[in-house]
Each structure stands twice: as C-alpha cells, then as structure tokens.
Chains A and B, each alone.
Chain A
C-alpha cells in the first residue's frame, strides 16, 4: 500500500495578470478529413481548477496539446499568460512552456533515468546557474510533496501506475509552474489511488496557486477537483459551470454521459 500523501508545502503566490490566465477563442483542429475541434471557446481564471470533460476521442488531449504548442490549430487563438501561443518564436515558446506544467496520461517518465534524474533533468536543462545542492534539495522537496521521497533512487519501471503519475506531477512541479495541465490524471488507476491523485491535484493548486486544466472522462475526478466543468461535445464546449450546473442539463448526451460514468458506478 502506498504511503499517505503529505500536505504539499505552500509557496508564495506570484502576482497574476488581470483577466483570464488561459483564453481560448474559436479553436479548430482537424486530422485529415476528421474534424476534432470545431471552434472551442473557454476562459480559465487565475488559481482556478477547470475540468474539461468528454468522451474518449472528443479532442480533450488535443485541446491541451494546442495550449502548449505541441500541435498547431487550423483556426482560432489560444492565449496563455497573455501570450498568443501559436504566434511565439521558438525561444519565447520554450520560456512560456517552462511556466506551464504538463502531466501526461502515461506519465511520460524518461525510462533511461532514475526518479531523481527525471526530476532534475528539466531543472538542469532549463535553469542556468542552479547549483547541484539546490537541484538535490528541489528534487527532494518535489518528491516529498507527492509522498514519494523513498522512491528517489528507483527507476520508472519499478514504480506502480499511481507512483508514476505522482512522479510525473513532481517533475512538473520542480519548475514551479503557474499553470498545470493534467491529461487524464486518473486513467488506469484503482479507485483508492485515483482518490489520492485527486487530493494531490487539489493540494498542488492550493500550495502552488496554480491555474489548472484537468482533462478527464472520470466524473469522480471532475467532481472532486473541478471548481468549474466544461463539457466538450462534438468538438465544442457545450456547457460550462459547476459540476451540478453542467449535469442539470436536459441535453441527452450529457445525461447519458452521467448515467454511464457515474450512476452505474454509484449503484454498483
């Protein structure tokens, strides 16, 4: 059984710009003839957790990959921390990316490196003039924050799915990001580990004052982490609000999503 996740140590809040930290306007993306996003509009305010919900294949992951410039949109504008992501030059885009933490669905840990090296890598590559002692301290702090201090010398292949997720989150925290993007944080995890990850997401938001977008189709995760929920249907955000507001809709697609994902498991 994994050890309990300790409270994430708080860091001082950084001044946030007025208006939305993330602003998405008319974002469209197609792969060949297949239109995935058909004009997505969404605003995310500072220090807010927004969950983007949707069925598999509706373009949730595409949406956050567009936000960090891993993909280029066919139309529309994505503004992150006041900068138009797709108008930035490579150096400026790299600088912006260092202010954003991205937690991958499959963790994407560097499998040839130990846990400590995984965490130290972005720090040593991105931040010049960081001493070896500081790198060691920040690695230890980040691992402590996700409750995996004991795994510092282990290889990614020796970790469980939940531990890999936590190391993935710790690796993003090491650069002290202002924004966190989580791609299916609870996918493939058992309910207990999923709950721990949900708690961790909330702790990270409170301690690091991050603005977060959480991509998921797990309604438990959406309810426990999202201050607001955006429902992605047919390539567009069809409804935004609190969890209860979104699922109070009469839209049969939303009702069926709820029935399939939530009611069934509650009655199971």
Chain B
C-alpha cells in the first residue's frame, strides 16, 4: 500500500512533467503571441526594476562595508573591488535577482492565473477557440526566462555602484581603478555561467508559477494557495538548481 503523501508527490511530479512537456511542444508551434510576450516582458522586467535596484544597491554597500574590516586586518583593502565583483557576478546577483523575482513574479503570476482559473476566464478562452496555454503560460514563462538574466546583469551594475560609493568614500578610488581592479579576476565563463544560471532560474519561476496558477482550484482559497506555493516551490527549486549548476561549472572549469 503506497502512502497517500508519496502518491500525491508522485502525481504532482507526473503532472509537472506533463506540463513541462506541453510547454516544450507548444513553444515552437504557431500562433506566436509576440505582442503579449512583449507586454509580459515589460511587466516582468521593467516593473521589477525598482525592487532589483534597491536590493542590489544595498547589497553592494553592505557587503563592501562588512568585508572591509576582514581585509583591512591583512592590509588588503585594495582587493575589495575584486572580492565584491567576484561575489556579485558569481553568486550574489543571480541568487538575489532570482529570489526577488520568485517572490514578486511567482506570487503575481500564480495569483493572476489562479484567479483566471477559478473565475472560468481560462475556460472562456478555450471555448472561444483560443489556446490559453499558449497565450498565458508560454508568454509568461518566456518572459521570465528572458528577463531574469537581464535583471541579474542590471543587479550586478547597481551592486557595483553601491560598492564603489563605499570604496570611494574610504579610499577616494576612481571609477576606472575600481572597475579595473574589480574585473581583473573575472573571466567570460564567470559571467556566461551566471547568465545561463539565470535563464534556468527564470524558466523555473515562470513554469512553477504558471503550473500552480493554471491548476488552481477551490475558489479564492485556491488562488491564495497557488500564489503561495508558486513562491515557496520556486525558491526551493532555485536553491537546488544553484547547487547543481555550481557543481557543473566547477566540473567544466576543471578542463
């Protein structure tokens, strides 16, 4: 006899896999809703800018401020730009951006699609001969997949700006010297791997939020549950992916 919890988990994984399979099939088939994709990219990208700006900027300042005493003990404060840049590019910016987006976009998309599901708006699309999966799920998932890497690059920029202000306040370093020091130990693979990581994170956020919203039930309670589950599950999966991708990148660096 299978325990109901195991049964439920297995069923959830199976349904999730079927949802993913449907996405892979539908994303390449016409019609393509470019206008909706652009609108969603605006929603996902532009409307997340203020949150990413504040978080990235504060992270840059605080991380620099807290790293200073440790490096000062060895007379190595000149390494601050390099340390901050490596930390931001390699791990901080991708993770911060992904977690912010999981919270903001996951709840947004989960609640929006969940609400459309329980008020029969998705069924209304279906009976009008419109494929709601293509119109709602494909566009939103593509938008998060494309915009999270862009937001991550922007997060690196504002993080470096925050860090620079702190460094400049203490050592009167020029922007050119800060950037030269910062990027002296950064290679193309570092930035490339972070961008790839963010593509994966963005896809995860979009896919999970759309799956939860698209399968919401039980009225308003179901909408709340879909929004909540989107955020929690996205964050959980992002951390697992982070560990796996770091392992893969380390393995690639070995060659």
B119 lies within 8 A of chain A by Cβ: yes
In the complex, what distance in Å separates the CA atom of A182 from the CA atom of B135? 25
A103 to chain B, nearest CB (A): 10
A243 lies within 8 A of chain B by Cβ: no
B250 lies within 8 A of chain A by Cβ: no
B220 lies within 8 A of chain A by Cβ: no
In the complex, what distance in Å separates the CA atom of A102 from the CA atom of B116? 17
| Chain B contacts for A108, CB-based, 8 A | 119-121, 123-124
Of all A-B residue pairs in the complex, the 6 with the closest CB atoms, nearest first, are: A122-B128, A98-B129, A108-B124, A108-B120, A94-B129, A102-B127
Q: Is the CB of A104 within 8 A of B123?
A: yes
A250 lies within 8 A of chain B by Cβ: no
Known: A106-B119, A110-B121, A111-B121. A125 touches B135 (CB 8 A): yes
Contact of B120 among A90, A98, A106 (CB under 8 A): A106
| Chain B contacts for A106, CB-based, 8 A | 119-120
Residue of B at shortest CB range from A183? B120
Instruction: Write out, one digit per residue, whether chain A residues 98-116 have a CB within 8 A of any chain B CB (1) or not (0).
Output: 1010101110111110000
B53 lies within 8 A of chain A by Cβ: no
Contact of A175 among B115, B119, B123, B128 (CB under 8 A): B128
Known: A108-B119, A111-B119. A126 touches B127 (CB 8 A): no
Q: Is the CB of A122 within 8 A of B126?
A: no
In the complex, what distance in Å separates the CA atom of A64 from the CA atom of B120? 14
Q: Is the CB of A97 within 8 A of B129?
A: yes
Q: Is the CB of B130 within 8 A of A122?
A: yes
Contact of B129 among A95, A104, A109, A111 (CB under 8 A): A95
Q: Is the CB of B124 within 8 A of A126?
A: no
In the complex, what distance in Å separates the CA atom of A65 from the CA atom of B112? 23
B131 lies within 8 A of chain A by Cβ: yes
The interface of chain A, by Cβ under 8 A from chain B, is: 65, 68, 70, 90, 94-95, 97-98, 100, 102, 104-106, 108-112, 121-122, 125-126, 171-172, 175
A225 to chain B, nearest CB (A): 20
What are 15 inter-chain pairs, A to B, with CB distance below 8 A?
Answer: A70-B127, A97-B127, A97-B129, A98-B129, A100-B127, A105-B120, A108-B121, A109-B121, A109-B124, A111-B121, A122-B130, A125-B128, A171-B128, A172-B128, A175-B129
Q: Is the CB of B126 within 8 A of A70?
A: yes
A133 to chain B, nearest CB (A): 19
Residue of A at shortest CB range from B127? A102
Contact of A102 among B112, B121, B124, B135 (CB under 8 A): B124
Residue of A at shortest CB range from B128? A122
B215 to chain A, nearest CB (A): 15
| Chain A contacts for B119, CB-based, 8 A | 106, 108, 111
Known: A106-B119, A108-B119. A125 touches B124 (CB 8 A): no
In the complex, what distance in Å separates the CA atom of A222 from the CA atom of B115? 32
Residue of B at shortest CB range from A125? B130
Residue of A at shortest CB range from B118? A106
A39 to chain B, nearest CB (A): 25
In the complex, what distance in Å separates the CA atom of A121 from the CA atom of B135? 12
Residue of A at shortest CB range from B124? A108
In the complex, what distance in Å separates the CA atom of A62 from the CA atom of B180? 68
A97 to chain B, nearest CB (A): 4
A81 to chain B, nearest CB (A): 14
Q: Is the CB of A122 within 8 A of B121?
A: no
Q: Is the CB of A110 within 8 A of B129?
A: no
B187 to chain A, nearest CB (A): 45
B130 to chain A, nearest CB (A): 5
In the complex, what distance in Å separates the CA atom of A125 from the CA atom of B134? 12
Given A97-B127, A110-B121, A122-B129; 17 other pairs, CB 8 A cutoff: A70-B123, A90-B131, A97-B126, A97-B128, A98-B128, A106-B120, A108-B119, A108-B121, A108-B124, A109-B121, A111-B119, A121-B128, A121-B130, A122-B128, A122-B130, A126-B128, A175-B129
Residue of A at shortest CB range from B36? A125
| Chain B contacts for A126, CB-based, 8 A | 128-130
A168 to chain B, nearest CB (A): 8
B116 to chain A, nearest CB (A): 8
In the complex, what distance in Å separates the CA atom of A70 from the CA atom of B132? 12
Instruction: Write out, one digit per residue, whether chain B residues 205-248 have a CB within 8 A of any chain A CB (1) or not (0).
Output: 00000000000000000000000000000000000000000000
A157 to chain B, nearest CB (A): 12
Residue of B at shortest CB range from A105? B120
B42 to chain A, nearest CB (A): 14
Q: Is the CB of A94 within 8 A of B120?
A: no
With most chain A CB atoms within 10 A of its CB, the pick from B112, B121, B129, B131 is B129
A183 to chain B, nearest CB (A): 9
In the complex, what distance in Å separates the CA atom of A104 from the CA atom of B122? 12
| Chain B contacts for A70, CB-based, 8 A | 123, 126-127
